[in-house]
Amino acid sequence: MQWVAGVCLATAQPEKPNIVFIFIDDLSYGDVGSFGCTDLSTPNIDLLAESGVKCTNAYAVMPVCTPSRAGTMTGLYPQSFGLNGNMHRGTPIPEDHPTMAEAMRDAGYVTGMVGRWDLGSKEQGPLQEGFMEVARRSFIDEDSPLNELSDYPTTYYQEDEVYWTDRQGDEVVDFIDRHKDEPFFLYYAPLAVHSPVEEVPEHYMESIQGVDDERRRELGGTLLAVDYVVGRIMQALEDNNLERNTLVILSSDNGGFDGDSARHYPSQGGKGTEWDGGVHIPTVASWPGTIPAGTEYDGLMSTLDFYPTFVAAAGEQPPERCDGRNALPFLTGKEKGDLHDYLYFRYVARHVCLDAVRHGQWRLLRTRNDAFWRLYDLSTDPAEAHDVAQEHPDVVRELATHFAQWATQLPDYSGVYRGEGGEYPRGIGWATASDQ
């Protein structure tokens, strides 16, 4: 398979496969070619989907980033430790529960991170939570003309004025090259395609043709930049003869942002909304020789499942307290059906307070403005245009009962904003746990 250049090479599979987790920021289901997008370009993500399994019914834990990342990194519903939305940023993740990185480190992996952290308390940065190597992040000088690119403080450019996504491409390849002879766990969490997308370099924009909406062109350029990094990861694996020895999962922390002209087809809504598009996310998994190529898995699954899946691939057991399930038997086709009978959502924000349940074809939800539950049949109405609660009162009762049972186990959600989360190492180059 051609990523940038090179050929596929086959090797014997080691006892512990390498694991690469690509967690893109605000990537919408309807903006990826292999999931139906026709106007933006994602060639490497599409190749990754062709090389493995495309998951069409995958869900983020939350429609916004901080709690979604916290839930994914712990394998726990973030509401179970008081994190119900970005307004609760800075809420600590449980100290008595290993993070995904700690579990992989303890399983004998070199753990590395490139990208965005945005979870935990101030004292819970990635180097404190199991990552042995973390690529630093810096910001441009306040006098740089690059600050005029958008109405926001410039976030994509480093102090040497290198576009952050481009630098991340160098960093992920460097990590793979240096650790090719030992089991490694690489967590790549780019800022892309988060706002402000208008900071994308012009040469990426030039590749987006036939899109009249300027904001969508900028989103497409930002997405193409991160897609190239995906290609660089896969090429580095091939160059080091590691492709068949590596499980790669690519997903998103939540749906895309309407303000950046993201599209959520076949859902409506997006990041920070009550609609299915806020949590229905594109997800692909590739492990040549283990996961059949060119397949689809349509069972209900969650980003909660990545933690126990990686631990299982390493030959270990997840913590006793874990809300996710090992997805490998389903991704390989050995088991059929849903990973979860029910998925639960509680999202608290100033503009919306959402309770929701996903079960089979159904999605039950209510907001603070709803007197009654609303019910949608996603098998016939993925855009949630028709509330069928009155036609199916038995379904409403069943799902509402399950939600109530789940919610009674949660702590109070009146927490307040505490800060920006765990401190991420600043500068350029690699920070290591031994530096602490």
Give residue-wise pLDDT tens across range 275-294.
999 999 999 999 999 999 99
pLDDT over 70 for what percent of the chain? 96
Quote the number of domains for the chain: 2
Q: Which of 303, 333, 363 is the last residue of a domain?
A: 333
Q: Is residue 436 part of a domain?
A: no
Q: List pLDDT tens digits, range 404-429.
A: 999 999 998 766 677 788 999 999 99
- The C-alpha atoms of residue 161 and residue 167 are separated, in whole angstroms, by 10
Tokens (6 digits) for 429: 């180059």
What is the predicted pLDDT for the residue at 436? 64
In a domain, 280, yes or no: yes
Residue 294 and residue 240 in one domain: yes
| Same structural domain, 326 and 362 | no
CATH code of the domain covering residue 198: 3.40.720.10
Asked whether residue 41 falls in the same domain as residue 90, the answer is: yes
Residue 162 lies in a domain: yes
* Domain endpoint, select from 299, 333, 367: 333
**So what's the pLDDT on residue 433?**
87
Domain holding 365, by residue range, is: 345-407
pLDDT of 317 strictly over 60:
yes
Interstrand relation of 184-189 and 18-24 (parallel, antiparallel or unpaired) = parallel
6: phi > 0 → left, psi -120 to 50 → alpha, else beta; which?
Answer: left
Amino acid (one-letter) located at 100: M
Q: Are residues 365 and 253 in the same domain?
A: no
Q: Enumerate the β-bridge partners of residue 357.
A: 344, 364
- Kindly state whether residue 214 falls inside one of the protein's structural domains: yes
Cβ burial of 81 (10 Å; 0-12, 13-18, 19+) is buried
What is the model's pLDDT at position 13? 44
Instruction: Tell me how long the chain is.
Output: 436
Residues 58 and 47 sit within 8 Å (Cβ to Cβ): no
Does residue 176 share a domain with residue 33? yes
Residue 373 sits in a domain whose CATH number is 3.30.1120.10
Same domain? For 182 and 310 the reply is: yes
d(CA 411, CA 76): 14
> Does residue 132 fall inside a structural domain?
yes
Round to whole Å and give the CA distance between 162 and 429: 13
Q: Look at residue 126 and tell me if it is in a domain.
A: yes
Cβ atoms 15, 313 nearer than 8 A? no
Q: Is residue 319 part of a domain?
A: yes
Mean pLDDT across the stretch 176-198? Answer: 97
* 347 Cα distance to chain centroid: 17
- Kindly state whether residues 221 and 315 are assigned to the same domain: yes
Planar angle of CA 100, 346, 392, nearest 5 degrees: 125
Whether the pLDDT of residue 5 is over 60: the answer is no
**Per-residue pLDDT, 145:** 84
CA distance 283 to 249: 7
212 belongs to a structural domain? yes
Question: Do 269 and 127 share a structural domain?
Answer: yes
Token pair, residue 168, equals 């991340």
Of the ranges 4-13, 44-53, 248-257, 368-377, which one carries the lowest mean pLDDT score?
4-13
Instruction: Indicate the residue among 287, 306, 333 that finishes a domain.
Output: 333
Same-domain status, 182 and 46: yes
Residues 6 or more apart whose Cβ sits within 8 Å of residue 54: 34, 35, 283, 284, 295, 296, 297
Query: Residue 10: its pLDDT value, please?
Result: 40
Nearest to 285 by CA among 303, 269, 267, 260: 303
Which residues touch 392 (CB under 8 Å, ≥6 apart)? 362, 375
Does one domain contain both 322 and 352?
Answer: no
pLDDT digits (tens, 9 = 90+) for 209-236: 899 999 999 999 999 999 999 999 999 9
Three-state helix/strand/coil letters over the chain: CCCCCCCCCCCCCCCCCEEEEEEECCCCHHHCHHHCCCCCCCHHHHHHHHCCEEEEEEECCCCCHHHHHHHHHHCCCHHHHCCCCHHHCCCCCCCCCCCHHHHHHHCCCEEEEEECCCCCCCCCCCCCCCCCEEECECCCCCCCHHHHHCCCCCCCECCCCCEHHHHHHHHHHHHHHHCCCCCEEEEEECCCCCCCHHHCCHHHHCCCCCCCCHHHHHHHHHHHHHHHHHHHHHHHHHHCCCHHHEEEEEEECCCCCHHHCCCCCCCCCCCCCCCHHHCEEEEEEECCCCCCCCEEECCCEEHHHHHHHHHHHCCCCCCCCCCCCCCHHHHCCCCCCCCCCCEEEEEECCCCEEEEEEECCEEEEEECCCCCCEEEECCCCCCCCCCCCCCCHHHHHHHHHHHHHHHCCCCCCCCCCCCCCCCCCECCCEEEHHHC
Distance separating alpha carbons of residues 164 and 122, to the nearest angstrom:
23
> If pLDDT is split at 50, 70 and 90, which confidence band does 8 have?
very low
329 shares a domain with 358: no
One domain, residues 287 and 360: no
Residue-level pLDDT at 288:
97
User: Cα–Cα distance between 35 and 56 in angstroms, integer?
Assistant: 8
User: Could you tell me the pTM of the whole model?
Assistant: 0.95
